[in-house]
Amino acid sequence: MKRFVIAVFLVMGVATIMTVGETRTTSNAPVYQESQPLFLDFIAQYDLVPVSNTQLGFQNPVRIRNILPPWILVTPVNAPRQGSSEIWVNLNHIAVITKHR
Protein backbone atom coordinates (compact mmCIF):
# COMPACT_ATOMS: atom_id res chain seq x y z
CA MET A 1 0.00 0.00 0.00
CA LYS A 2 2.85 2.35 0.87
CA ARG A 3 4.52 1.78 -2.51
CA PHE A 4 1.24 2.38 -4.33
CA VAL A 5 0.80 5.78 -2.63
CA ILE A 6 4.41 6.74 -3.46
CA ALA A 7 3.91 5.68 -7.09
CA VAL A 8 0.70 7.75 -7.35
CA PHE A 9 2.46 10.82 -5.94
CA LEU A 10 5.39 10.27 -8.30
CA VAL A 11 3.09 10.06 -11.34
CA MET A 12 1.17 13.16 -10.19
CA GLY A 13 4.44 15.07 -9.67
CA VAL A 14 5.78 14.18 -13.13
CA ALA A 15 2.46 15.11 -14.75
CA THR A 16 2.44 18.45 -12.91
CA ILE A 17 6.00 19.25 -13.95
CA MET A 18 5.24 18.38 -17.59
CA THR A 19 2.08 20.53 -17.56
CA VAL A 20 3.90 23.52 -16.06
CA GLY A 21 6.74 23.18 -18.57
CA GLU A 22 4.32 22.99 -21.49
CA THR A 23 2.39 26.02 -20.25
CA ARG A 24 5.56 28.11 -19.93
CA THR A 25 6.81 27.25 -23.43
CA THR A 26 3.49 27.62 -25.24
CA SER A 27 3.29 31.04 -26.85
CA ASN A 28 0.28 33.26 -27.37
CA ALA A 29 2.24 35.61 -29.63
CA PRO A 30 0.26 37.82 -31.97
CA VAL A 31 -0.01 36.84 -35.64
CA TYR A 32 2.25 39.62 -36.95
CA GLN A 33 5.09 38.44 -34.73
CA GLU A 34 4.78 34.84 -35.88
CA SER A 35 4.38 35.61 -39.57
CA GLN A 36 7.35 37.91 -40.10
CA PRO A 37 9.94 38.67 -37.44
CA LEU A 38 11.48 42.12 -37.67
CA PHE A 39 15.27 42.03 -38.12
CA LEU A 40 15.98 45.68 -38.75
CA ASP A 41 19.24 47.58 -38.47
CA PHE A 42 18.88 50.66 -36.26
CA ILE A 43 21.61 52.50 -38.21
CA ALA A 44 20.24 51.92 -41.72
CA GLN A 45 17.68 54.08 -43.49
CA TYR A 46 14.33 52.65 -44.56
CA ASP A 47 11.40 53.60 -46.77
CA LEU A 48 7.93 52.88 -45.41
CA VAL A 49 5.18 52.11 -47.91
CA PRO A 50 1.71 52.60 -46.41
CA VAL A 51 -1.20 50.23 -46.95
CA SER A 52 -3.12 51.14 -50.10
CA ASN A 53 -6.40 52.17 -48.44
CA THR A 54 -4.95 54.52 -45.82
CA GLN A 55 -4.49 58.27 -45.70
CA LEU A 56 -1.03 58.00 -44.13
CA GLY A 57 2.08 59.39 -45.71
CA PHE A 58 5.66 59.05 -44.52
CA GLN A 59 8.61 61.38 -44.84
CA ASN A 60 11.03 58.86 -46.33
CA PRO A 61 13.73 57.87 -45.60
CA VAL A 62 13.38 57.13 -41.88
CA ARG A 63 15.54 55.53 -39.19
CA ILE A 64 13.96 52.99 -36.89
CA ARG A 65 14.68 53.75 -33.25
CA ASN A 66 12.62 51.16 -31.38
CA ILE A 67 10.39 48.17 -32.10
CA LEU A 68 7.54 47.35 -29.75
CA PRO A 69 5.14 45.23 -31.83
CA PRO A 70 2.71 46.28 -33.22
CA TRP A 71 4.43 49.69 -33.06
CA ILE A 72 7.76 50.99 -34.37
CA LEU A 73 9.38 54.29 -33.44
CA VAL A 74 10.73 56.12 -36.49
CA THR A 75 12.65 59.34 -37.01
CA PRO A 76 12.72 61.04 -40.42
CA VAL A 77 16.33 61.37 -41.63
CA ASN A 78 15.83 64.90 -42.98
CA ALA A 79 13.97 66.16 -39.90
CA PRO A 80 15.43 69.12 -38.02
CA ARG A 81 17.14 68.26 -34.74
CA GLN A 82 15.05 70.78 -32.83
CA GLY A 83 12.07 69.41 -31.01
CA SER A 84 10.71 65.89 -31.08
CA SER A 85 10.50 64.37 -34.54
CA GLU A 86 10.06 60.75 -33.42
CA ILE A 87 6.80 59.13 -34.49
CA TRP A 88 5.20 55.85 -33.36
CA VAL A 89 3.76 54.01 -36.37
CA ASN A 90 1.46 50.99 -36.18
CA LEU A 91 2.66 48.05 -38.29
CA ASN A 92 -0.91 47.44 -39.46
CA HIS A 93 -0.66 50.64 -41.53
CA ILE A 94 2.61 49.67 -43.24
CA ALA A 95 2.52 47.44 -46.31
CA VAL A 96 6.28 47.18 -46.95
CA ILE A 97 9.49 48.23 -45.20
CA THR A 98 12.36 48.52 -47.68
CA LYS A 99 15.95 49.56 -47.19
CA HIS A 100 16.63 53.04 -48.62
CA ARG A 101 19.12 53.13 -51.50
| Share of the chain residues as helix, strand and coil, in percent rounded to the nearest 5 | 30, 30, 40
Q: What is the pLDDT of residue 32?
A: 47
Contact residues for 44 (Cβ-Cβ < 8 A; gap 6+): 63, 99, 100
Contact residues for 22 (Cβ-Cβ < 8 A; gap 6+): none
pLDDT at 24 over 70: no
Q: What is the pLDDT of residue 47?
A: 86
pLDDT at 69 over 80: no
Torsions phi, psi of 69, nearest 5? Answer: -50, 135
Instruction: Map out the domains of the chain as residue ranges.
Output: 31-99
Read off the pLDDT band of 87 (50, 70, 90): confident
Residue of higher predicted confidence among 13 and 31: 13
Selection from 70, 69, 62 nearest residue 86 by Cα: 62
Q: Distance from CA of residue 33 to its chain's centroid?
A: 5
Please give the share of the chain, as a percent, with pLDDT higher than 90.
2
The whole model's pTM is what? Answer: 0.54
Report the distance separating Cα 44 and Cα 101, nearest Å: 10
pLDDT at 61 over 60: yes
Report the distance separating Cα 54 and Cα 85, nearest Å: 22
